[in-house]
Structure 1
Amino acid sequence: MSDRATSEPTHVAGIAWTADGYEAVVLDAAGGPAAVPTRWGAARVAELAGWLRGFGPGLAVVVDSTNGLLDGPLTAAGLDVRRADPWTLPGRPAFGSVSASALAERARRAPASLARLTVASGSLAGREAEFEAGVADGEELRARLTAAGRCVQHGRRDRPQVALTFDDGPDPVLTRTILAALARHRARATFFCVGLHVAALPDEVRRIAEAGHELGNHSWSHPFLPDLTPSQLCEQIDRTGEAIARVTGAEPTRFRPPYGSQTPQVLATLAGRPTTVTLWDVDSRDWARPGPERIAATVLEAVRPGSVVLLHEGGGDRRQTAAALPAVLDGLLERGLEPVTLGELFDGSLGALISRPPAASPAAPL
């Protein structure tokens, strides 16, 4: 769905991301300030959503395409969330989004230029065809990375192991719930963390590592990677790796592109990095919040030996994922499939890699 916002809001809020959180600016219909600009740490998104709700149903909240962490929790809170694309905005700084003021002003002056984001449409509403074209254009380079063992989707099919992976965390509440479920089942997993959350919640990252799970790099702000320059993409990866290393003592060796972006430019940049591009072959579609039973069924219907399963612990309301996890783990163990880390899954099996892009919705907040 590519809904363009046509209604004119009574208030607009621009939300910019920075190195340590978010800045919010709220304007009224005449362009005057409706509140003093505020700053919010990345662990305070629930508070930010509550503050925004206080402006009433006439508020439109605007993010840009380099911020893929807020639309999930804000839409879950019942807010009207819209996306401004780079060709409608002034230039970005080397690190961070355009200013909150610029986002709010764009929404006030040209609301029809914004894409409305919903749970059903996902973060890339209106840009699905562009995403798919980018994946198709990257096929040749992806094949070369595959042959070199630098891009993986699943492990060997003759070993009874699978890898559960959790994106977009850590989360101030659900990370501990997920870790407890894994511990009860003596299962290991891999957590692809975003830098904003790592910096805000180092204790949760430490818990993941101390429990014996693997950590992966999922960028700093979950951007749509084709909208970044190569240097901006490298900055996202480097800062996230450094943030994880400050907590655990080691940088991750795996990078998962947000949304699974695989354009030639993105892949060429990643080819120069010392990390393995890590995709998936089973999409739980938990981002759509279809219910715990449906999430568990989707995983268990598709999983095979060697599968890499995409799940989420952050970046939105992930309570359904946490609720589905015990059933997923029980189902895997009943099938004789051992949940292991990606490092364990690919130990000695890097020949079993991808030949096609992952079968995931491009709009999913992966």
Structure 2
Amino acid sequence: MLYSGISWSATGYEIDVVDEDGRRAASALRFAPGRTEDMIEHLRDIGRTGPLVTVVESTNGILDGRMMAAGLKVYRADPDLLPERPLFGSVAAGVLADLARRDLSALAELERNRGTQTGREADLESGIAASTAQVAALTGAGRCLDHGTRDRKEIALTFDDGPLPPYTGQVLDVLERYGVPATFFCVGMNAGAHAEDLVRMREQRHSMGNHTWSHPFLPELSRAQLHEQIDRTGDAIARAGGGAAPTLFRPPYGSRTPEVMGWLADRASTVVLWDVAPDDWAMPGAQTIARTVLEQARPGSVVLLHDGGGDRSQTVAALPPIIEGLLARGFRFVRVEDLMTVAA
């Protein structure tokens, strides 16, 4: 058995691989954010020499979907098993690999239809439920939104986890063909690597939001780590897209606790949630994605879709029937900030 760990930093990823005796089985390699497919193929090559498992830290939520789609076995290492993380970045790749070697059963094996949060969905839901009062307070102050007013037939399409070629470009093609605006919540790790997509978003008059640097589970971060994720991502989006840093923020997975919501309340950004989620990331099929959106959509709805994080071909295929179906019902498409203006 071979054990690989993937760490992340401001400059990309690093892979380290050890065998059952803890000896390095392959040279440690670094990959820039734009070379993730090369990194996955490198791991597949290693896996052809013998059984391989790959470990990501719980603050890395943007790789597992693509790795599992490529046939890799992926495990998640949670903070209680790890040394203290730096302010920005993960623990070393070698630490993750050796952790799996010593006790693979202590890690959570990820499932493709459950994603990065496999095995701790209850923790996610309990944190969301406990934060109801804080979300309501921010909503009342005009600083949080999960939908707009229900008396206007307006709807906002939003896309998370990109930019990621070729899917972001394909989404933009569809939106351009129909003349539909949208809001893209971008991950900092991807923003600088695919700046051309952000430039095109601005040129097509879409809006952009902040979706953290590495897509972490927010309750595991300290206040300083959360702020670092948001600030660096805002800077990356501004540099890549040629505009100001976004003021909209969407928490990965919608993850939150009362404490996290308090930290977000200290910032100038507005938290954007959603009320329609077809779980397109789980790839249930384009028809299912479109049908779910059309069944759940109401005036003022915020629709959660994805242009990054994995194979998004089903999302791209679902977009035309979603748009045509909603237009036929008399809906008008707007950006998230337009819903906020009406709601205020």
**TM-score using structure 1 length:** 0.91
Q: Which residue of 1 aligns with 2:278?
A: 284
Selected match of 2:314 from 289, 309, 320: 320
Once the two structures are superposed, the pairs formed by residues 332-351 of structure 1 within 5 Å of their partners are 332-350=326-344
3-state SS, counterpart of residue 181 of structure 2: coil
Gaps of 5+ in 1: 1-9, 351-366
Q: Which residue of 2 aligns with 1:199?
A: 192
* CA deviation map 1:229-268 (0-9, x unaligned): 0000000000111111123221111100001012011101
Mapped partners of 1:265, 1:117: distance in 2: 27
Mapped partners of 1:136, 1:304: distance in 2: 23
- 1:348, CA displacement in angstroms? 2.9
3-state SS, counterpart of residue 68 of structure 1: coil
Q: Give the root-mean-square deviation of aligned CA atoms.
A: 1.0
Pair 1:125 & 2:118 matched: yes
* CA deviation map 1:60-83 (0-9, x unaligned): 010011000011111111110000
Bigger shift: 133-142 or 317-326? 133-142
Selected match of 1:236 from 225, 229, 242: 229
- Alignment check: 8 A CA contact 1:45 1:73 kept: no
Say which structure is richer in helix: 2
Name the aligned partner's letter for residue 203 of structure 1.
Answer: E
Mapped partners of 1:115, 1:50: distance in 2: 23
Q: Which residue of 1 aligns with 2:46?
A: 55
Selected match of 2:7 from 11, 16, 21: 16
Selected match of 1:270 from 243, 264, 268: 264
- 1:338, CA displacement in angstroms? 1.5
Selected match of 1:44 from 16, 35, 57: 35
- 1:21, CA displacement in angstroms? 1.1
Name the aligned partner's letter for residue 283 of structure 2.
Answer: R
- Alignment check: 8 A CA contact 2:148 2:342 kept: no
3-state SS, counterpart of residue 197 of structure 2: helix
3-state SS, counterpart of residue 52 of structure 1: helix
Mapped partners of 2:147, 2:272: distance in 1: 9
Runs of 4+ in 1 over 4 A off after TM superposition: none
- Alignment check: 8 A CA contact 1:165 1:311 kept: yes
Pair 1:106 & 2:99 matched: yes
Pair 1:189 & 2:182 matched: yes
Mapped partners of 2:224, 2:283: distance in 1: 34
Q: Which residue of 1 aligns with 2:242?
A: 248
Mapped partners of 1:52, 1:287: distance in 2: 23
Q: Which residue of 2 aligns with 1:355?
A: none
- Alignment check: 8 A CA contact 1:163 1:190 kept: yes
- 1:51, CA displacement in angstroms? 1.0
Q: Which residue of 2 aligns with 1:6?
A: none
3-state SS, counterpart of residue 92 of structure 1: coil
Aligned length: 341
Q: Which residue of 2 aligns with 1:135?
A: 128
3-state SS, counterpart of residue 34 of structure 2: coil
- 1:345, CA displacement in angstroms? 2.1
* CA deviation map 1:294-317 (0-9, x unaligned): 111111111111100000000111
* CA deviation map 1:151-205 (0-9, x unaligned): 1100111111100000000012111111110011110000000000002111111
Name the aligned partner's letter for residue 301 of structure 1.
Answer: E
Mapped partners of 1:269, 1:199: distance in 2: 26
Mapped partners of 1:113, 1:239: distance in 2: 32
Q: Which residue of 1 aligns with 2:148?
A: 155
Mapped partners of 2:338, 2:309: distance in 1: 26
Indicate the percent of aligned positions where both proteins have the same amino acid. Answer: 53
- Alignment check: 8 A CA contact 2:254 2:273 kept: yes
Mapped partners of 1:20, 1:200: distance in 2: 10
- 1:38, CA displacement in angstroms? 0.6
Pair 1:89 & 2:82 matched: yes
Once the two structures are superposed, the pairs formed by residues 165-176 of structure 1 within 5 Å of their partners are 165-176=158-169
- Alignment check: 8 A CA contact 2:149 2:342 kept: no
Mapped partners of 2:171, 2:221: distance in 1: 32
3-state SS, counterpart of residue 223 of structure 1: coil
* CA deviation map 1:271-314 (0-9, x unaligned): 00101000000002101101111111111111111100000000
